[in-house]
Amino acid sequence: MENSDLLPHLFRTEYRKLVSVLCYLFGIEHIEIAEDIVSDTFLSATELWSFNKVPENPTGWLYTVAKNKTKNYLKRNALFDQKLSTDLTYNAHKGEELDLDLSTKNIADSQLAMIFTVCNPCISGESQIALALNLLCGFGIQEIADAFLTSKDVIYKRINRAKSALKEAQIKIEQPTVTEISNRLDTVLTTLYLLFSEGYFSTAQNILLRKDLCAEAMRLTYLLIENEATNKPSVNALFALMSFHASRFDTRTDDQGDIILYQDQDETRWNQELIEQGTYYLNQASTGTRLTKFHLEAGIAYWHTHKEDTPEKWESILQLYNQLLMLDYSPLAALNRTFALAKANGKQEAIREAEKLKLTDNHYYYALLGYLYTDIDSTKAVRHFETALTLTDSITVKTALLKNIDRLMNPVAL
């Protein structure tokens, strides 16, 4: 790796670890102190490494400097040190010099505790995602703003409100108990699911960022799998779902960033290792008696890794959607079901079901109707695609819709 790429890479991988460990040590009320110490550590690296040779063990150097800066901070702030020494998260005896534990186990424990802290019901879902991206994934404010297609000011306020809410609720950063895991795991998984979806379905143009969002969601989900207490069937199902979706990531857009529809994707470029990984964790998720939406969506995603249009495939997908809608209804899932219905039972039946949904403020609704009416009534198909155009700001989606309209308006003569 080039020296110019090293620090940004280390910032992405190590910032979150150091912040988690220090937050775990100091408590949520001192989260800004933890962030300041870690930021100062990377500032020192930027200043020194640009003039001197990069150390042989850059990560070890960062850990040593972070430890020293933490010790120096505590020495300069005796009152803080005294308060910290009485806290249950600070295990050193009074007068004993702090030895910041940056072992692999403590980093993993700290990050697990932080996941359950950030994904707390006392803050909104969108704030959970923003705070997770910032603290657990090491994304900067501008990067998060780009991901959500909003301003830095909006994200800054969102994160600060989340931090304030956690402090006011006096939420402790600690290993979740069996009861907390049982009560809060669904909230944690929903946040990770939304984080992955923001990357996978985002309309942002920064392709690298979108992949990074998905990779971070998968990393955090895998942290839950690695911990025996949180290695539940639903976690494995979510990881399987992410793996199946990620396997087709590179075939969803062309070199210009335009959407490639599922039926036009080159399945030879699908990542077989991720498909096998998804299959393994979907099998791991089959234990237990509780069926979750992640199980059903993972099953749907599994069938989408089989390109051939067989009756068994689309009937299986349709039945999975039927179960999903009974378990956890959502308009988007109902919309997706009608596509599977068209494949399984024909477009006429799917049109009748789709028009019952009346999702008249959703461009996906009209895009689907445009697809369903194609080859049945070209005039109606064009009208639906044109309506979809008025309801989206995404350049990528607009481009795809215009291509569909052009094909219908200017059919190629055989």
Q: Is residue 24 part of a domain?
A: yes
Among candidate residues 301, 328, 326, the one with its CA nearest the CA of residue 316: 301
Distance CA 19, CA 16 (A): 5
How many domains does the chain contain in total? 2
Q: Which distant-in-sequence residues (6+ apart) come within 8 Å of 209 by Cβ?
A: 143, 146, 147, 199
Boundary (domain end) residue, out of 48, 77, 102: 102
Burial class (CB in 10 A: 0-12, 13-18, 19+), 256: exposed
Q: Is residue 270 part of a domain?
A: no
Q: Which distant-in-sequence residues (6+ apart) come within 8 Å of 102 by Cβ?
A: 17, 18, 21, 63, 66, 67
Quote the pLDDT of residue 213: 82
Kindly give the confidence (pLDDT) of every residue in the chain, 414 residues in length, as a single tens digit, with 9 standing for 90 and above: 555 678 888 888 899 999 999 999 888 888 999 999 999 999 999 998 887 788 899 999 999 999 999 988 888 876 565 655 555 444 444 445 566 889 999 999 999 999 999 988 889 888 888 898 888 888 888 888 877 778 899 999 999 999 999 999 988 898 999 998 998 899 899 989 988 887 787 655 555 457 888 898 999 999 999 999 999 999 999 999 999 999 998 888 887 777 888 888 999 999 999 999 999 999 999 998 899 999 999 999 999 999 988 989 999 999 999 999 999 999 989 999 999 999 999 999 999 999 999 999 999 999 999 999 999 999 999 999 999 999 988 788 888 899 999 999 988 644
Quote the pLDDT of residue 1: 55
Distance CA 117, CA 111 (A): 10
Structure-token pair, residue 123: 């803050």
Q: Is residue 391 part of a domain?
A: yes
Q: Name residue 253's beta-bridge partners.
A: 259
Q: Is residue 330 part of a domain?
A: no
Quote the pLDDT of residue 35: 93
Enclosing domain of residue 37: 1-102
Distance CA 123, CA 133 (A): 15
Dihedral sign for Cα 43, 46, 51, 56, please.
positive
Q: Is residue 179 part of a domain?
A: no
Distance CA 245, CA 250 (A): 10
Boundary (domain end) residue, out of 102, 127, 156: 102
Q: Is residue 201 part of a domain?
A: no
Boundary (domain end) residue, out of 102, 133, 166: 102
Distance CA 106, CA 89 (A): 12
pTM: 0.86
The residue length of the chain stands at: 414
Distance CA 107, CA 61 (A): 16
Contact call for residues 195 and 213 (beta carbons, < 8 A): yes
Distance CA 265, CA 158 (A): 38
Quote the pLDDT of residue 316: 97
Q: Is residue 383 part of a domain?
A: yes
Contact call for residues 234 and 295 (beta carbons, < 8 A): yes
Distance CA 127, CA 157 (A): 9
Q: Is residue 83 part of a domain?
A: yes
